[in-house]
Amino acid sequence: MSSSFIERARSVLAANDRGGYTVPTDRLYPFQWNWDSAFVAMGFATFDIDRALSELEALARGQWADGMIPQIIFHKPAETYFPGPDVWRTSHTIPTSGITQPPVFALALEFIAARAGAEFTPRIAALYRAGLAYHRWWEKARDPEGRGIVAVLHNWETGRDNSPEWDEPFARVPQTTTTTIVRRDLGHVDAAMRPRDEDYRRYIHLVDLYASLGWDAMAMWRETPFKVADIGINAILGASEEALGRLAKRFGSEAERAEIASRRARLAKGLAELWNERIGLYASRDLISGKAMDVRVSAGFLPLLTEHCPAEARQSMQQRLDGLLKANTLPVPSTLVGEPGFEPKRYWRGPVWAVVNYLIARGFARQGMGEQAREVDEATLGAIREVGFCEYFDPLTREGLGGGTFSWTAAIALLISEDRMALAA
């Protein structure tokens, strides 16, 4: 891997570094985002453990007393993003949004811990405790009925904001808001690559509702019109719970190890229920109507990351990947080509995202499917080398879309490059 490519990837992280935390990209996303920073921390860990740990420590500074690590932490004010702290109206000392995002935190921490020297042990131990509190929050606030499947109460929590999976549950959410909506994103990115205005009205309706409930987790659970078991979050949480269990062997107590093991077993059972026979892939479920979503999305591959992924599921995913490669489609479109909601350029309705690809490839590798893992990694790295560190890629034309110079795309470039160098050594 050429050193100039690696240097360019590192310089994207340096350009987006705001001193101890990294913004996803300048202007469009001028604060710290939860799952972006977890990937960025892994990217930093390929060359700077101290800086990797500060990224997670900055996230932990935004953690709520109940354990939630928020989606956005507003460390410093900025005028280029909507909705800001005045819309969220939460009460944390460092202003934050009131929802969370995919829990990649423990995966990142384990990745860093595996390569950190003894001098970093106290910092890693403190972050383990933040991760444990976060996972306890998921169980208590988002699976209060103990069914082994956690729910999201806002589409922004999924990280896949406008996936067609949310179209049906959103039909129940009114478009009325008490907040004036100012689409600052459209000043940075073409409207055709972003969610629509009616989507935003629903997103903000939910923010207004939860703010009126004082962000009380149980009141939100009772009152929400949007309660979805997102396949991405459930799979990532399953994998993260496994990572936390391994970290607990070094940093936790016996009681904590038992607690993590029991959550992990419940999640594995829950994931099994999210296999969708009709579409031959894992799928999200609307927890209000009880309906499984018959939409094939890239996140439906993520249970590959977990201990629960039977042979039937693995074969089906392998066939889907083969189909994409044969059709010369850049794998893996966020919404698979041929789905009624597929739009190749609109955010999570079709474009390919490097971070999801990275997880899918690690999932194939975990299942012993090295060839598939390599194919996904090659495709991801090839697209980044060809068009740059952009936010997402058109799966049909390979055009780079959304924000440019994106931190997590650079982080993934570093991670895949490092793996390839290790293979070549």
Site residues, ligand DGY (CB under 6 A): 71, 156, 161, 185
Residue 50 Cα distances to 120, 265, 411, angstroms: 8, 33, 16
Q: Which is nearer to ligand DGY, 81 or 282 (CB)?
A: 81
Q: Which is nearer to ligand DGY, 26 or 161 (CB)?
A: 161
- Spatial separation of the C-alpha atoms in residues 364 and 298, rounded to whole Å: 13
The answer for residues whose C-beta is within 8 angstroms of residue 248's C-beta and 6 or more apart is: 128, 132, 256, 257, 260
Tokens of 392: 């997402």
- Spatial separation of the C-alpha atoms in residues 82 and 184, rounded to whole Å: 6
Q: How far is the CB of 402 from ligand DGY (least distance, A)?
A: 10
Q: Which is nearer to ligand DGY, 111 or 200 (CB)?
A: 200
Residue 154 Cα distances to 129, 227, 267, 292, angstroms: 26, 8, 20, 18
- Spatial separation of the C-alpha atoms in residues 300 and 321, rounded to whole Å: 12
Closest-by-Cβ residue to ligand DGY is: 156
Number of other residues whose CB lies within 10 A of the CB of residue 124? 19
Q: Which is nearer to ligand DGY, 88 or 156 (CB)?
A: 156
Q: Which is nearer to ligand DGY, 54 or 71 (CB)?
A: 71
101 close to 71: Cβ distance less than 8 angstroms: yes
Q: Is 295 helix (H, G, I), strand (E, B) or coil?
A: coil
Burial class (CB in 10 A: 0-12, 13-18, 19+), 345: buried
Tokens of 386: 């060809």
Q: How far is the CB of 348 from ligand DGY (least distance, A)?
A: 9
Please name the residue that has the structure tokens 């903000």: 204
Active-site amino acid positions: 161, 391
Give the strand pairing for 281-282 and 285-286.
Answer: unpaired
Q: How far is the CB of 185 from ligand DGY (least distance, A)?
A: 6
Q: How far is the CB of 392 from ligand DGY (least distance, A)?
A: 11
Bridge partners (DSSP) listed for residue 17: 22
Q: How many CA atoms lie within 13 A of 399 on its CB side?
A: 11
- Spatial separation of the C-alpha atoms in residues 241 and 377, rounded to whole Å: 24
Q: Which is nearer to ligand DGY, 161 or 165 (CB)?
A: 161
Please name the residue that has the structure tokens 């808001």: 177
Q: How far is the CB of 247 from ligand DGY (least distance, A)?
A: 27
Q: How far is the CB of 243 from ligand DGY (least distance, A)?
A: 23
Q: Which is nearer to ligand DGY, 25 or 380 (CB)?
A: 25
The answer for residues whose C-beta is within 8 angstroms of residue 105's C-beta and 6 or more apart is: 34, 38, 56, 59, 69, 130, 131, 134, 240
Q: Which is nearer to ligand DGY, 21 or 364 (CB)?
A: 21
Q: How far is the CB of 36 from ligand DGY (least distance, A)?
A: 9
Q: How far is the CB of 109 from ligand DGY (least distance, A)?
A: 22
Q: How many CA atoms lie within 13 A of 187 on its CB side?
A: 11
Nearest residue to 357 via CA among 332, 387, 382, 324: 332
Number of other residues whose CB lies within 10 A of the CB of residue 234? 30
